[in-house]
Structure 1
Amino acid sequence: MSRAPDFVVHDEGDSVGVVVVEGIRAGQKLNGWIMDQDRTIEFEVKDDIPIGHKLAIRDLPEGETVIKYGVDIGRVVAPIRTGEHVHVHNVKTKRW
């Protein structure tokens, strides 16, 4: 990787990455590091996303399971496009 990543993904099977820098703004081109495969991905982010929050690394239809670090973290309740913020407004836990 030529520069530090803007977000990290554990495995290419994950559906989200975690933002690791501050100040991510809609329209920025981000680079991410998929740790298990030691490869990079790039795309344009659609929303402002705070550090530590998730972003979709592929399109996620309503009802799909969200995978972060290889773990099921919830269900998509509103369609999410690649590069969009993934948070409580579009993902809910399956616990209740």
Structure 2
Amino acid sequence: MDKRALRMAASDDVATVIDAVSAGEKVCVRTKSGEVACMLTAREDIPRFHKICLIERDAGDTVTKYGQIIGRVTSPIGRGSYVHIHNIESIKTGVGA
């Protein structure tokens, strides 16, 4: 069975995983209305309720969640990778998001 993730807005670069995900597992990303937004393979283990990257991001790119910019990429993030304080920083505070 595929793992689940939720994308809050169509412009989001990340989704929140609903189930803990292990590297190599398939993740079904759905919209708030329940439609399938995309399927992807996790590149890393991701804890429950943390972020998974939906598109490739380079250092310096912004990260969008809830339709709002939540941070800036500090090191490249691949599609299906874990997005957290080790690879993004808060734009507002300059610390890990």
TM-score for both structures, normalised by structure 1 = 0.87
Which runs of structure 1 show a deviation greater than 2 angstroms over 4 or more consecutive aligned residues? 34-40
Match in the other structure for 2:58: 61
Aligned match for 2:8, one of 4, 7, 10? 10
Separation in structure 1 between the aligned mates of residue 15 and residue 22 of structure 2, nearest angstrom: 16
Contact 1:15–1:66 (CA under 8 A) maintained in structure 2: yes
CA RMSD of the aligned region, Å? 1.9
- Paired residues in the alignment total 93
Identity of aligned residues (%): 30
Structure 2 unaligned regions, length at least 5: none
TM-score for both structures, normalised by structure 2 = 0.86
Contact 1:6–1:32 (CA under 8 A) maintained in structure 2: yes
Structure 1 unaligned regions, length at least 5: none
**Secondary structure of 1:6's aligned partner:** strand
